[in-house]
């Protein structure tokens, strides 16, 4: 099966007078297309499609829609990040909904407060989704109006009951960011999903992709907060962690918040 991801990045920044600004720029489809090789050999898990990236600066919520209606029985995983310069922000249990009536739960969440402001990342999921019709739109709502970055991803082959296996989260101030390390996975055939949010004072920073992962959302050229979300289909039992290296002018060193969750195959 051939899968292709088309996405749009919107750059979140901060002007010299403290106002949030943005600059919509396309991500090259060829560079971000996900080859079939990303599906681990023999795995029942398959990446199906992603929504475009969505951002709001700031707002109470942000919504994204799939280009094709997801299939009933599949899993929707939503990677979200929020930033607020003045108020504490978290991702509540009811922080993600869709217009199809599916229920979402938090797999893992992490938050941090530093000199720049308040940051929060989370990974939500809904499985199995019900019969779908019309446009499939997913909405994210943090605890307070904030700058929100999100992407929703459809997968096939994940467990329909109790899919989350192991999780970890981490915060720090280093160019070498880590999600933290999970306990060993229960089985070999699992999906790992990781999210990173980090600061960039100059707006000219860089970030690597975790080894073995495919990117679903990325932005590393924004002043202050940047986000990357990625996934990997696993093939062996073991502990899991995602590692990023950030760099560039003004990155000295960045504050970051990161988290990771693994999901079992059906």
Beta strands at 137-140 and 224-233: parallel, antiparallel or unpaired: unpaired
Residue 27 has pLDDT above 70, yes or no: no
Asked if the structure places residue 239 within a domain, the reply is yes
Residue 122 has pLDDT above 80, yes or no: yes
Q: Cα(149)–Cα(13) distance, rounded to whole angstroms?
A: 12
Asked if the structure places residue 2 within a domain, the reply is no
For the residues of 109-175, what is the DSSP string, one character each? EEEEE-SS-EEEEEEEEE-S-----S--EEEE--SSSEEEEEEEEEEESB-SSS-EEEEEEEEEESS
**Are 246 and 198 within 8 A, CB to CB?**
yes
Among residues 68, 66, 67, 139, the alpha carbon closest in space to that of 102 is found at 139
Query: What's the chain's average pLDDT?
Result: 84
The pTM assigned to this predicted structure is 0.84
Asked if the structure places residue 15 within a domain, the reply is yes
Using CB atoms within 10 Å of the CB of residue 134, give its burial: 0 to 12 exposed, 13 to 18 middle, 19+ buried: exposed
Per-residue confidence band for 218, with pLDDT thresholds at 50, 70 and 90: confident
**Are 212 and 249 within 8 A, CB to CB?**
no
Per-residue confidence band for 235, with pLDDT thresholds at 50, 70 and 90: very high
Q: Element (H or E) spanning 32, and its range?
A: helix 29-32
Beta bridge partners of 108: 123
Preceding amide of 20 cis, omega within 30: no
* Percent over 90 (pLDDT), the chain: 66
pLDDT given at position 36: 36
Asked if the structure places residue 3 within a domain, the reply is no
Residue 136 has pLDDT above 90, yes or no: yes
Asked if the structure places residue 189 within a domain, the reply is yes
Q: How many domains does the chain have?
A: 1
> What range does the domain containing 49 cover?
8-264
């Amino acid at each position: 099966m051939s899968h292709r991801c088309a996405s749009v990045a919107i750059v979140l920044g901060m002007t010299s007078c403290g106002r949030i600004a943005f600059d919509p720029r396309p991500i090259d489809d060829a560079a971000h297309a996900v080859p079939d090789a990303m599906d681990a050999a023999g795995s029942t898990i398959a990446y199906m499609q992603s929504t475009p990236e969505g951002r709001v600066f700031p707002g109470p919520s942000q919504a994204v829609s799939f280009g094709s209606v997801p299939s009933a029985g599949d899993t929707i995983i939503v990677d979200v990040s929020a930033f607020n310069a003045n108020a504490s922000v978290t991702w509540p249990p009811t922080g993600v909904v869709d217009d199809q009536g599916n229920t979402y739960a938090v797999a893992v969440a992490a938050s941090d407060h530093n000199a720049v402001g308040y940051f929060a990342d989370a990974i939500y999921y809904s499985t199995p989704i019900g019969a779908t019709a019309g446009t499939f739109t997913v909405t994210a709502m943090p605890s307070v109006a904030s700058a929100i970055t999100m992407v929703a991803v459809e997968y096939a082959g994940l467990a329909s009951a109790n899919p989350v296996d192991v999780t970890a989260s981490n915060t720090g101030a280093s160019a070498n960011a880590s999600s933290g390390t999970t306990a060993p996975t229960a089985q070999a055939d699992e999906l790992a999903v990781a999210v990173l949010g980090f600061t960039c004072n100059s707006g000219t920073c860089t970030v690597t992709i975790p080894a073995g992962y495919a990117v679903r959302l990325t932005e590393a050229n924004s002043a202050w907060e940047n986000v990357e979300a990625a996934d990997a289909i696993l093939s062996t039992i073991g502990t899991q962690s995602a590692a990023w290296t950030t760099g560039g002018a003004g990155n000295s060193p960045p504050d970051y918040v990161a988290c990771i969750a693994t999901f079992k195959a059906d």
